């Protein structure tokens, strides 16, 4: 029987690369993003336009497949405007947290209650190196990703009895729409030695790690965060 994966943020970047990875490996995929039209045409891809910050859209996505084998939480936003934390607005904070943390948490809750009926499954959250790296001009993003790391641990703990493993991938500097506006900044930092592996990450690098965690190859790993960041996390002198 064909396995089913549910993937948010499915229309571009890391989400789209992850959709393609699972399709290439024989999965039926249900994807959601806020974009109106499906990013690809594939008989095994079911695209649902929606916003995970809205409960009705979360329920629409999770109710679509009969069974969920894999959930990958990719959907995330940066602040619409980068502002120092001394000037951050409540509107910006709510916008980022409603999608990155609240929406992801309650979508995972819905999926987990469906997955536990089968006593098996995989959940992978896409967090960020911003989980532990301070960026004072986008504090709401950092806070949301730090919270998401605890969401990973909580669900890993709670769902272990149902044979559902929950892990997390922490991307580094990845070439996506979100980072396009700061390309020159990171080009220079990478050239100056910020990363041991001196290149931008690709969405496919993240998709490969997600699939490794969700393919059954690592059944005794849960509550873990894997850095896919070119070595950014290494403390160096």
| 40 Cβ neighbours under 8 A, 6+ residues apart | 16, 19, 20
> Annotated active-site positions, please?
141
| C-alpha dist (Å) from residue 148 to 14, 88, 116, 153 | 17, 20, 21, 9
The rounded distance, in Å, linking the Cα atoms of 218 and 223 is 12
d(CA 197, CA 182): 19
Q: Which residues pair with 123 in a beta bridge?
A: 71, 166
Q: Work out the number of other CB atoms within 10 angstroms of the CB of residue 43.
A: 7
């Amino acid at each position: 029987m064909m396995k089913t994966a549910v993937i948010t943020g499915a229309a571009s970047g890391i989400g789209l690369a992850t959709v393609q990875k699972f399709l290439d490996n024989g999965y039926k995929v249900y994807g959601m993003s806020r974009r109106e039209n499906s990013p690809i045409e594939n008989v095994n891809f079911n695209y649902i336009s929606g916003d995970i910050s809205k409960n009705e859209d979360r329920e629409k996505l999770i109710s679509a497949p009969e069974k969920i084998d894999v959930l990958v939480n990719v959907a995330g936003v940066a602040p619409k405007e980068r502002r120092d934390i001394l000037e951050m607005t409540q509107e910006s904070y709510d916008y980022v947290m409603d999608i990155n943390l609240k929406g992801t948490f309650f979508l995972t809750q819905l999926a987990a209650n469906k997955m536990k009926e089968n006593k098996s499954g995989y959940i992978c959250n896409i967090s960020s190196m911003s989980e532990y790296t301070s960026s004072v001009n986008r504090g709401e993003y950092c806070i949301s990703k730090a919270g998401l790391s605890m969401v990973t641990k909580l669900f890993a703990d709670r769902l272990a009895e149902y044979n559902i493993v929950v892990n997390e991938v922490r991307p580094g500097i990845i070439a996506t729409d979100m980072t396009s506006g700061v390309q020159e900044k990171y080009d220079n930092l990478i050239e100056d030695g910020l990363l041991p592996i001196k290149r931008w990450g690709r969405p496919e690098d993240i998709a490969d790690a997600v699939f490794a965690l969700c393919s059954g190859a690592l059944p005794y790993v849960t509550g873990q965060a894997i850095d896919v960041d070119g070595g950014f996390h290494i403390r160096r002198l």
